[in-house]
Amino acid sequence: MITILAKSREFTKVEEYLMTVAPSIRSLKDVEDNTVIPVAGTLNFLDTKEDTNEEVEVLSIITPDKQVYSCQSKTFKRSLYDIQSIMGDQPFSIIKISGKTNAGRDYINCILDVSSVE
């Protein structure tokens, strides 16, 4: 079951489908570093697994050509929300990056693609 928590704009029913349950959603952890992702909108939702009732908070990003990327990473979400709050309504792209914590755990993050807004 999907519960939408927040969205950057109003989405069509097709966009909501693409951003929440479509099998074509691409996990950001599987995306190569330095991939540029144009952001046409974001959707934050709670995905409740029917068999276990486990809840996972997921962020989806849709591009202008309807490609969708998603993640659960708090680090990635925080960075993207910071970029969105600064950029406001101005179109922008992000660059996916990743690394290892001091404890040796993998993480994903994003930075503003400055060339997309100059």
SS3 track for 38-54: EECEEEEEEEECCCCCC
Reading the chain (118 residues) residue by residue, the pLDDT tens digits are 899 999 999 999 999 999 999 999 999 999 999 999 999 999 999 999 888 889 999 999 999 999 999 999 999 999 999 999 999 989 999 999 999 989 999 999 999 999 999 7
Question: What is this structure's pTM?
Answer: 0.93
Element (H, E) at 80: helix 74-87
Q: And the tokens for 45?
A: 């939702």
State the residue range of the domain holding 78.
Answer: 2-116
Count the domains in the chain: 1
